[in-house]
Amino acid sequence: MTDVNLLIGKNASGKSTVLEAIYVASARISPTDQINEARKLDYVFRRRTGRGCWSTSRDALWFL
């Protein structure tokens, strides 16, 4: 039997953030996503901000 985890909650309660955190944590094992053909940190950063990549934009993020 396989275990299944469900994330249930209202809109904007953080369900996607939990999944993205797991995805980013998996970058320690495999930094590149084969499906999106991008570095995992860059993919999440671009998805969340709509611009740039992690390595060029992290200073601005920490500043803000």
Question: Residue 2: inside a domain, yes or no?
Answer: no
d(CA 29, CA 32): 9
Alpha carbons 44 and 18: distance in angstroms, whole number: 12
Q: How far apart are CA 44 and CA 57, in angstroms?
A: 12
Q: What is the pTM of this model?
A: 0.68
Locate 39 and state its tokens: 């570095």
Question: Is residue 22 in a domain?
Answer: yes
Name all contacts of 49-58 with Cβ < 8 Å and 24+ positions apart: none
7 assigned to some structural domain: no
Identify the pLDDT of residue 26: 92
Question: Domain of 31?
Answer: 15-63
Task: Give percent above pLDDT 90 in the chain.
Answer: 28
Q: Is residue 5 part of a domain?
A: no
Q: What is the tally of structural domains in the chain?
A: 1
pLDDT class for 13, splitting at 50, 70, 90? very high
